[in-house]
Amino acid sequence: MLTYVIIGLVSGAIYGLAALGLVIIYKGSRIFNFAQGEFGTMAMYVMFVLVELKGVPYFAALPAGLITGIVLGLLTERFVARPLAGAQKVIGLVGTAGVALLLIGLTLVFADPKPRSVNSPLVGVGPTIAGYTISRQQIFAIVVLIAVAASSAFFFKKTFLGMAILANSQDSSAVRIVGASVNRISAITWGIAGFLGALTGVVLAPDVAFYPGYMTTVVLIPAFTAGIVGGMTSLVGAFVAGQIIGLVEAMGYYLVKQFPDALQTIPEAPAFLVFVVLVLTLLIRPKGLFGSEA
Amino acid sequence: MAQAVAAPPASRPVVTRRLTPSRIIVLGIIAGGVLVYPKLGSGVAADRFTLAVIYAIVGLSVNILMGYAGQISLGHQAFVGVGAFSAAYLTTKGGLPIVLSVPLAALIGGLIAALLGLVALRIQGLYLALITLAYGAVAERTIFGIRELTGGGGGMPALRPEFFTSDASYSYVCLAVLALLVFVDWRMLRSKFGRALLALKSNENVAASFGMNLVFYKVGAFVMAGIVAGLAGGLLAFREQHVVSADFTFTLALTFVIMTVIGGLGNRTGVILGSAFTAYLPFILNKISDWTGSSRVIVLRIAITAILLLLTLTKTPGGIGQQIHPLTEWLSGKPFPRHNKGHGRKRKVKTEAA
């Protein structure tokens, strides 16, 4: 049982990290960014090329992966988010989904659909807790999440730029009146989101076998669920809810293991549980645990 | 402001609709081409054509939600899938004839959409997108995997009855359904219901303050879309003759949304053309890769659709419907528009000699 709790917390860290990126875009421009997962997959593939094909060490390749994410975030802002800023929010959402699909399409053109992985010096045995051995890479993921959550909370509460981003989401014409550049704020927001997406990808890359569209298929829906449960506007919420979603999913795996006969009729029970959490949250408390609005 | 009130609005120019011989000829060529096409060549051509027609029906369904009512559905693959599995189950396990099972599939699609619509009432805007996404994913991974109903991963057969066994004859069945739906869609949009949906899209609060029953119209839009999608699913089942849950993935839902947007939200002709194009794209790429001898061409499909989508959204939000607007205007009996409103750079209207 405790084993599953640890598994849940580890995957929860990844969901939380991805959810942070979603929340920052939502705070900044009030749209759901469906391209968030693909920022991560692209960073994974850059890491794959550098580490596995060129022989660059994992930590030396990390900056390249992260820069990929930032560049993708900036490009998305310039060519999709900014032109669609005045359009219906639904159109903005379709636009980001288009970005995700374009990135998946490009990966398919340039990479084989084979599962890939990236070698990291942290992969391998780490401390054993309750019979479950955590890899050092997984500990790295959790540490990164905590560091990112803390620094972004500081960023939005205490720095001028962070507050400008929040102000922009509430009333962008007022921001323009006081003399801040709306376009620059929007670009910075997307840059940060791209960075967080890439960070999710590079941290996860050594632990999984990824393929084109991996983060969109596997991480995006739990991350959205974490964002919604956390309230979509709360960084702390995204952090906590990521852990909750990780635990819920792990509970699904536990139940399937405990009651294989009863649950065999429901294929993919863990994913199903995550959806149940999403739907119930939206129906009962759409503003989530820590949200300030619905 | 006062000036604007004082000046009476310029009376709308009277447009005389004329069905000139040239129009009749062009319309005849288009109609004839569509009718003869399935009979030409092998059954493969007819089969492709059937898929394009079914996609067009799905496009009309997505259009009711996105184009008219301003809602979004990221779970449309599940609506279509429910129709497909219902039709297959009713015919293969229930022994019903196709003329009963397909309409029943449409009805079931409408019922499930009504349930989702009731959920949608509590949820606004973008959050609705996530609910439909979750519904689609649950249906795809969980409901469509239940062996008793869908045959699990192995799928459920749906054999065509004797009369429609050939691909060509079946494509006429689908074409007839599409024609009927285009008519219904046209009349629906002109009715009180259709105008209410458009009002809903423009501004919910204003619509409500005019006394519109938002609950009725929102759920109504979902039911209409669900019925049409279920119908498309039923037709799809008998096209494939074997329904497999692996066919109804999230990517398909994205494809359905994208083809509707590329076609032009709210524009019936555009949506049909956009959907048909999307259905044909893999076949076109196959042909190109045969000519060039490079199998990499086929892989371009997703990137091409995504680029088309992004260009449509940022450059011509009206999609194909906006591009072909002058042609459709002319075909409908109005004079050929000299300049396109809001299309690209505005040209100066020449005064007399054009």
Query: pLDDT tens digit string along A42-88?
Result: 999 999 999 988 888 988 999 999 999 999 999 999 999 888 887 87
Residue A223 included in any domain: no
Q: Are A138 and A11 in contact (CB under 8 A)?
A: no
Of A7, A290, A10, nearest to A146 (Cα)?
A10
Q: Which amino acid is at B169?
A: S
Residue B174 has pLDDT above 70, yes or no: yes
Q: How far is CA A212 from the centre of its chain?
A: 16
Q: Nearest residue on chain A to B252, judged by CA atoms? A: A101
Residue B349 has pLDDT above 50, yes or no: no
Q: Residue B2's pLDDT is what?
A: 44
Q: Residue A27's pLDDT is what?
A: 82
Which residues from A are below 8 Å from B300, CB to CB?
105, 109
Q: Could you read off the pLDDT of B135-163 as tens digits, one per residue? A: 888 887 777 777 777 776 677 877 777 67
Which residues from B are below 8 Å from A31, CB to CB?
126
Q: What is the pTM of this model?
A: 0.84
Q: How confident is the model at residue A265 (pLDDT cuts 50, 70, 90)?
A: low
Domain extent for B148: 42-204+212-250
Which residues from A are below 8 Å from B125, CB to CB?
89-90
Residues with Cβ < 8 Å from B24, sequence gap 6 or more?
none
Between A114 and A133, name the one with better pLDDT: A114
Which residues from A are below 8 Å from B133, CB to CB?
221, 224
Domain extent for A140: 13-217
Residue A154 included in any domain: yes
Q: What is the mean pLDDT of residues A15-30?
A: 88
Residue B311 included in any domain: no
Lowest mean pLDDT among A237-251, A271-285, B119-133: B119-133
Q: Confirm or reject contact between A267 and chain B (CB < 8 A).
A: yes
Q: Confirm or reject contact between B302 and chain A (CB < 8 A).
A: yes
Q: What pairing do the DSSP bridges indicate for beta strands A128-129 and B156-157? A: unpaired
B208, two tokens? 């409500």
Domain total in chain B: 1
Q: Residue B9's pLDDT is what?
A: 52
Residue B336 included in any domain: no
Residue B206 has pLDDT above 60, yes or no: yes
Beta carbons of A90 and B125 less than 8 Å apart: yes
Q: Confirm or reject contact between B130 and chain A (CB < 8 A).
A: yes
Residue A265, min C-alpha distance to chain B (Å)? 6
Residue A206 has pLDDT above 50, yes or no: yes
Residue A293 has pLDDT above 60, yes or no: no
Which residues from A are below 8 Å from B261, CB to CB?
94
Of B110, B170, B144, nearest to B243 (Cα)?
B144
Q: Which residues pair with A210 in a beta bridge?
A: A116
Residue B302 burial (C-beta neighbours within 10 Å; 0-12, 13-18, 19+): buried
Q: How confident is the model at residue B339 (pLDDT cuts 50, 70, 90)?
A: low
Residue B9 included in any domain: no
Top residue of B147, B300, B309, B316 to mutate, by most chain A CBs within 10 Å, is B309
Q: Could you read off the pLDDT of B93-108 as tens digits, one per residue? A: 888 888 888 899 999 9
Residue B153 included in any domain: yes
Q: How confident is the model at residue B15 (pLDDT cuts 50, 70, 90)?
A: low
Q: Residue B55's pLDDT is what?
A: 95
Residue B257 included in any domain: no
Averaging pLDDT over each range in A36-50, A119-133, A202-216, A260-274, which range is the top one?
Answer: A36-50
Residue B52 has pLDDT above 90, yes or no: yes
Q: How confident is the model at residue B76 (pLDDT cuts 50, 70, 90)?
A: very high
Residues with Cβ < 8 Å from B302, sequence gap 6 or more?
A101, A102, A104, A105, A108, B251
Domain total in chain A: 1
Residue A3 included in any domain: no
In angstroms, rounded to a whole number, what is the distance separating the alpha carbons of residues B150 and B27?
Answer: 43
Residue B35 included in any domain: no
Residue A280 included in any domain: no
Residue B261 has pLDDT above 90, yes or no: yes
Residue A228 included in any domain: no
B60, two tokens? 């009309």
Residue A260 has pLDDT above 80, yes or no: no
Between A245 and A235, name the one with better pLDDT: A245
Give the SS3 label for residue B242: strand
Q: Residue B348's pLDDT is what?
A: 46
Between A255 and A37, name the one with better pLDDT: A37
Q: How confident is the model at residue B350 (pLDDT cuts 50, 70, 90)?
A: very low
Between B28 and B224, name the one with better pLDDT: B224
Q: Residue B14's pLDDT is what?
A: 60
Q: Residue B54's pLDDT is what?
A: 94
In angstroms, rounded to a whole number, what is the distance separating the alpha carbons of residues B88 and B70?
Answer: 32
**Would you give the DSSP letter of residue A210?**
B
The stretches of chain B forming alpha helices (DSSP H) are: 2-6, 21-36, 43-63, 76-92, 98-121, 125-141, 147-150, 167-190, 192-202, 204-209, 214-240, 250-263, 268-292, 296-314, 319-323, 325-331
Residue A255 included in any domain: no
Q: Confirm or reject contact between B138 and chain A (CB < 8 A).
A: yes
Residue B97 included in any domain: yes
Between B141 and A95, name the one with better pLDDT: A95
Residue A201 has pLDDT above 50, yes or no: yes
Residue B189 included in any domain: yes
Q: Residue B208's pLDDT is what?
A: 83
